[in-house]
Structure 1
Amino acid sequence: MKLYYTPGVCSQAVHIALAETNADFTLEKVDLQSKKTETGADYRQVNPLGYVPALELDNGEMLLEAPAILQYVADLKPESKLAPAAGTLERVKLQQQLNFTASEFHKSFGPFFAAVKPEGAALAQAMTKLEARFDVVDALFADGRPYAMGETFTVVDTYMFVVASWTKLIGIDLGKWPHVEKFVARVAARPRVQQVLEREGLLNAA
């Protein structure tokens, strides 16, 4: 398999999942500005929308969208317990958290990464929405659970970890949400996550 990735963005969640399952994969970095891969290829031929991640399977098929790829990777090695078995209520709960992370948590950062940053009332509105999403995530961990689904590390944690880590890019103090802050530190300390951060050149930034 080959993972098309960009350091520090949501493709990092898939990178972590692949590392946690000890999968056999290669990496190809993508420049999201030029839409070129590190080999000089046009990334839009891989994903017409131009964003990562994309996972090329050994048979040449391409998978897109982080929540779908994460579940695929988890199911390749069920013994990893990165996702509950398909067809169970726990699997639906995992999908619920993946969808929240993608459609609410991740997307709430969009205005802050836009080419034209919001100002004034628009900035205040964007910040209010983002903080509300962090409140929800902080409440999830308020019962003392180490990971989003409970005691077991899953693909939800790979994605939530990456998104929550973006606070440092936009100057927000994660300490406002102490349960999230502890969660991020806990995931960052995992050996395979450390390996991924080092590969992406972000180990000292974690």
Structure 2
Amino acid sequence: MKLFYAPHVCSLAPHIILRELGRPFELARVDLRRKKLADGRDFAEITRKSYVPALVMDDGSLFTEVSVIVQYLADLQPESRLAPPRGTMERLRLDELVSFIATELHKAFLPFTLMPAVGHEAKDWAARRLAQRVGLLEEMLGRGPYFGGDDFTIADAYAFWALRKFVDVTHQELPARLADYVPFVGERPSVRDALAAEGILPAAPRADRTAP
């Protein structure tokens, strides 16, 4: 498999999941500003959407969209416990959470990233709305260290990226439990390896941290 990615964006989530699965894969970096690959080709030759992630399977099939890719990867190896079995209430709840992250957090970053000439008032409103959604996400964390309780799931990989992005673009602090959750997740080998491969500094470990 080949994952087309760019540092600091949402392709980090499927990158983490690929490393969790231990499956062989290739990374292909995309220059999102120029929409170019490292060899100079236009990224549109791979996908007309011209954004990452894009995952090319062994048979040449191509998939896009974070939520679709991470669910597909989890279902390739059910024994990984990265997602509950389809058809269960637990899977429905996980799908609900992944959709929430995709629509209420991920897409809500647009005023800070891609939208041109966004005024201060609009950004302030967007930041307040994002903070409310992050507060809801904290409630969804429940009692376990991960969103799946004791099991790390695809939702954790996506939330890890989204929460770091929230802090980066809005310059707001995370609620207390999520402030512990992000570096806690950042200590997983798959996460640290993905960050290192993309040239991103990991969340700084804290000596007194326990599971959130």
TM-score range, shorter chain: over 0.9
Instruction: Say whether 1:83 aligns with 2:83.
Output: yes
- SS of 1:34's partner is coil
Q: Which runs of 5+ in 2 are unaligned?
A: 205-212
Structure 1 residue 145 displacement after superposition:
2.0
Amino acid at match of 2:90: E
The whole-number CA distance in structure 2 between the counterparts of 1:179 and 1:185 is: 11
Structure 1 residue 110 displacement after superposition:
1.2
Counterpart position of 2:164: 165
Amino acid at match of 2:144: R
Counterpart position of 1:47: 47
Amino acid at match of 1:191: P
Instruction: Say whether 1:2 aligns with 2:2.
Output: yes
Amino acid at match of 1:63: F
- SS of 2:150's partner is coil
Counterpart position of 1:66: 66
Structure 1 residue 117 displacement after superposition:
4.8
Counterpart position of 1:188: 186
Cα separation, partners in 2 of 1:61 and 1:42, compared to 1, 3 Å = same
Counterpart position of 2:208: none
1:5-154 paired onto structure 2 within 5 Å: 5-141=5-141, 143-154=142-153
Structure 1 residue 64 displacement after superposition:
0.8
Q: Which runs of 5+ in 1 are unaligned?
A: none
Structure 1 residue 78 displacement after superposition:
1.2
1:193-204 paired onto structure 2 within 5 Å: 193-204=191-202
Structure 1 residue 205 displacement after superposition:
6.3
TM-score norm. by structure 2 comes to 0.90
Residues 135-157 of structure 1 deviation map (CA, whole Å, 9 limit, x = unaligned): 1112223x432111222100010
Runs of 4+ in 1 over 4 A off after TM superposition: none
Cα separation, partners in 2 of 1:184 and 1:136, compared to 1, 3 Å = same
Structure 1 residue 120 displacement after superposition:
3.3
CA RMSD of aligned residues (A): 1.5
The whole-number CA distance in structure 1 between the counterparts of 2:133 and 2:8 is: 20
Structure 1 residue 116 displacement after superposition:
2.5
Counterpart position of 2:173: 174
| Aligned sequence identity (%) | 38
Is contact 2:109–2:169 with CA below 8 Å preserved after alignment? no
Amino acid at match of 2:143: G
Is contact 1:174–1:180 with CA below 8 Å preserved after alignment? no
